[in-house]
């Protein structure tokens, strides 16, 4: 188990992506989504209650701490972050107006960091 910290933006994007990917299916028992769902829903309510500037501040300045994450959950998160990187790369490739260089750099950095944590999990076995 390892402690993880995400910006609120990262946490909400990760959970939103997992939820979207499984909209027509039930989240499997033991999934990271089910483990973090209550925290995600509470954060959603807090964000919805804020004015736009306060919401932006919370998304990018506040942190969500996960006190313990299993290797299985970390693998799920790494997969989701890898899909975020791919999505941003695809947007850039298509010169989509939603392409954001900062988002791409952030997700690439997060993927590199999480992959390093995952490698330490595997090396620890």
Q: For 41-98, write each residue's pLDDT tens digit.
A: 999 999 999 999 999 999 999 999 998 888 999 999 999 999 999 999 999 999 999 9
For the chain, give the mean pLDDT. 90
CB atoms within 10 A of CB 87: 16
> pTM for this one?
0.88
Residue 11: the pLDDT is: 97
**Domain range for 107:** 2-124
Alpha helices by DSSP H, listed for 22-100, are 32-48, 52-61, 71-93
Residue 4: the pLDDT is: 87
Closest CA to 33 of 21, 45, 50: 21
Question: How many distinct structural domains can be found in the chain?
Answer: 1
Q: Distance between CA atoms of 39 and 25, rounded to whole angstroms?
A: 21
């Amino acid at each position: 188990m390892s402690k993880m910290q995400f910006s609120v933006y990262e946490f909400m994007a990760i959970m939103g992506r997992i939820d979207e990917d499984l909209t027509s299916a039930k989240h499997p028992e033991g999934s990271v989504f089910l483990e973090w769902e209550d925290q995600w829903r509470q954060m959603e309510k807090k964000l919805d209650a804020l004015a736009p500037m306060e919401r932006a501040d919370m998304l990018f300045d506040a942190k969500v701490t996960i006190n313990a994450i299993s290797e299985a959950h970390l693998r799920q998160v790494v997969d989701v972050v890898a899909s975020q990187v791919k999505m941003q790369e695809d947007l850039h490739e298509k010169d989509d107006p939603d392409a954001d260089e900062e988002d791409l750099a952030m997700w690439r950095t997060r993927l590199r960091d999480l992959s390093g944590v995952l490698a330490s999990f595997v090396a620890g076995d």
